[in-house]
């Protein structure tokens, strides 16, 4: 089975092609600057250097056509014909309360994705355009939607409700949804394979730490809580997002700075977080270098970041009624030994003993970082959301 995985942004299309016989990645790449000057398509062969093609790409239809063309390219392609593609799996950011799992796409699903665009106005519309574009060129190929939010639909009302008038929840669907669900699902499963834990009988805290960041509490294979909420701005301090914030702070700023809703939203999404505290960068590498040079605001930002994660781990361990494993993933979680060490320091009280020496050597590879006597496993697990999407797609198109 050959499965194409698509992740459409407003001006980009990321893609990966898998042979599901052995979960083999055949080719990956990105179409960038769609509808803008300087459009390009870059492919990343698994064992060769990247190759870039330049040329104007006006819309997502042309972008998908460019992807299919490069997959069958006489020199760089890996398929003889696009008819070899058995199915296409799409990352869709928001499924609201409508989708508890991945689904085959039909007209009803498409309509629901549009309805959920109110909750994810920057993400769902391009996700929808990608599906329509594939339909236009591969009309007979089944497509699957895999939602970032669906993994967290197992949260109980007491975990997902906001303490606002209940009528507003009923009217607008205002509640906590959570994101990064595909990543949390993938790394928690793979970490159980690594450690020998039974996924369906374990208490796991998954920390997806990247430009965006979230923490999830997973009990017996189901998400019971997560740090992101109605939008990805809630929870962890992130590169440019504030994370948890007293709403009174925001209304105070709006009043004093005389800014409207759009400007306030831009402030907490694009100019806050690590960038806002340091005034230097949203990139953890730059911040750590500045801290090493003695920059006090960078030191403060790192302390705040680690402290926020520790708070979530403590809270979620209480919600889970114990803890079997902590998982680190995402660009920071997989590669930043300083953050991992800071988070796990002084956690012996909960039975978590950390191998600081081994931790210094681990970059981007699956590894157990807890010591043999530790009652709580600590793992690093590189995420692979695209493979998870491909596996979900395969399950839905396979004949019973």
- The pLDDT confidence band at residue 400, using thresholds 50, 70 and 90, is low
Does the active-site annotation cover 198?
A: no
- The pLDDT confidence band at residue 48, using thresholds 50, 70 and 90, is confident
Do 250 and 316 sit in the same domain of this protein?
yes
Would residue 373 count as lying in a domain? yes
- The pLDDT confidence band at residue 138, using thresholds 50, 70 and 90, is very high
Do 137 and 264 sit in the same domain of this protein?
no
Tell me the Cα Rg of the chain: 22
- The pLDDT confidence band at residue 82, using thresholds 50, 70 and 90, is very high
Do 76 and 7 sit in the same domain of this protein?
yes
* Mean pLDDT for the stretch of residues 243-269: 97
Do 133 and 275 sit in the same domain of this protein?
no
pLDDT digits (tens, 9 = 90+) for 337-366: 999 999 999 999 999 999 999 999 999 999
The yes-or-no verdict on residue 115 having pLDDT over 70 is yes
Count of CA atoms in the C-beta half-sphere (13 A) of 26: 22
Do 306 and 215 sit in the same domain of this protein?
yes
Would residue 164 count as lying in a domain? no
* Mean pLDDT for the stretch of residues 276-299: 98
End-to-end CA distance of the chain: 15
Do 131 and 204 sit in the same domain of this protein?
no
Would residue 280 count as lying in a domain? yes
Do 233 and 310 sit in the same domain of this protein?
yes
When the pLDDT of each residue in the chain is averaged and rounded to a whole number, the result is 97
Instruction: Classify 27 as helix, strand or coil.
Output: strand
Do 289 and 350 sit in the same domain of this protein?
yes
pLDDT digits (tens, 9 = 90+) for 3-43: 999 999 999 999 999 999 999 999 999 999 999 999 999 99
Counting residues of the chain whose pLDDT is more than 70, the rounded percentage is 100
* Mean pLDDT for the stretch of residues 301-327: 99
- CA atoms of 377 and 180, how far apart (whole Å): 22
Would residue 355 count as lying in a domain? yes
* Mean pLDDT for the stretch of residues 369-386: 98
CATH number, domain of 63, equals 3.30.420.40
- CA atoms of 313 and 217, how far apart (whole Å): 8
Would residue 152 count as lying in a domain? no
- CA atoms of 72 and 80, how far apart (whole Å): 6
Domain closes at, from 112, 147, 182: 147
Annotated catalytic residue: which of 32, 58, 118, 148?
148
What pLDDT is recorded for position 47?
84
Would residue 294 count as lying in a domain? yes
Domain closes at, from 147, 177, 211: 147
Among candidates 134, 289, 295, 148, which has minimal Cα distance to 214? Answer: 148
- CA atoms of 138 and 20, how far apart (whole Å): 19
Is 156 exposed, middle or buried (CB count within 10 Å of its CB: 0-12, 13-18, 19+)?
Answer: exposed
pLDDT digits (tens, 9 = 90+) for 208-229: 999 999 999 999 999 999 999 9
Among candidates 242, 96, 121, 268, which has minimal Cα distance to 175? Answer: 96
Mean pLDDT is lowest, of 45-49, 142-146, 259-263, 296-300, for: 45-49
Do 331 and 197 sit in the same domain of this protein?
yes
**Counted domains in the chain:** 2
Do 123 and 205 sit in the same domain of this protein?
no
Contacts of residue 225, defined as CB under 8 A and 6 or more positions apart, other chains included, come to 155, 159, 216, 217, 316, 319
Domain with 317, as residue range(s), is 193-380
What pTM did the predictor assign? 0.95
Do 141 and 206 sit in the same domain of this protein?
no
Would residue 52 count as lying in a domain? yes
In this structure, the strands spanning 222-226 and 40-44 are: unpaired
Contacts of residue 84, defined as CB under 8 A and 6 or more positions apart, other chains included, come to 2
Do 140 and 84 sit in the same domain of this protein?
yes
Contact 211, 243 (CB under 8 A): no
Would residue 245 count as lying in a domain? yes
């Amino acid at each position: 089975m050959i499965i194409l995985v698509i992740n459409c942004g407003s001006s980009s299309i990321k893609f990966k092609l898998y042979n599901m016989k052995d979960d083999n990645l055949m080719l990956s790449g990105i179409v960038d600057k769609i509808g803008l000057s300087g459009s390009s398509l870059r492919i990343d062969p698994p064992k060769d250097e990247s190759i870039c093609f330049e040329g104007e790409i006006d819309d997502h239809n042309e972008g998908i056509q460019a992807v299919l063309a490069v997959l069958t390219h006489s020199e760089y392609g890996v398929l003889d014909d696009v008819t070899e593609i058995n199915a296409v799996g799409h990352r869709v950011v928001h499924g609201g309360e409508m989708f508890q799992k991945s689904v085959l796409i039909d007209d009803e699903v498409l309509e629901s994705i549009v309805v959920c665009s109110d909750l994810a106005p920057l993400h769902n519309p391009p996700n929808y355009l990608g599906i329509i574009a594939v339909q236009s060129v591969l009309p007979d190929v089944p497509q699957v939607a895999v939602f970032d939010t669906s993994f967290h639909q197992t949260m109980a009302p007491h975990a997902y409700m906001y303490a606002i008038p209940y009528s507003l929840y009923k009217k607008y669907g205002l509640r906590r949804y959570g994101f990064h669900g595909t990543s949390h699902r993938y790394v928690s499963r793979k970490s159980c394979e690594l450690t020998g834990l039974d996924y369906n009988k374990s208490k796991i805290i998954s920390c997806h730490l990247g430009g965006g960041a979230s923490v999830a509490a997973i009990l017996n294979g189901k998400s019971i809580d997560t740090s992101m909420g109605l939008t990805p701005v809630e929870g962890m301090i992130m590169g440019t997002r504030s994370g948890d914030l007293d709403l009174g702070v925001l209304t105070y700023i709006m009043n004093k700075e005389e800014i409207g809703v759009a400007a306030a939203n831009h402030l907490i999404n694009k100019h806050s977080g690590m960038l806002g505290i340091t005034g230097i960068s949203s990139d953890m590498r730059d911040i750590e270098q500045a801290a090493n040079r003695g920059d006090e605001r960078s030191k403060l930002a790192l302390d705040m970041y680690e402290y926020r994660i520790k708070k979530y781990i403590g809270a979620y361990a209480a919600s889970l009624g114990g803890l079997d494993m902590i998982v680190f993933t995402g660009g920071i979680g997989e590669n930043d030994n300083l953050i991992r060490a800071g988070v796990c320091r002084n956690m012996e009280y909960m039975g978590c003993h950390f191998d600081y020496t081994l931790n210094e050597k681990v970059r981007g590879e699956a590894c157990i970082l807890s010591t043999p006597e530790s009652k709580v496993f600590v793992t690093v697990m590189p995420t692979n959301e695209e493979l998870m999407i491909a596996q979900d797609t395969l399950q839905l198109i396979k004949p019973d």
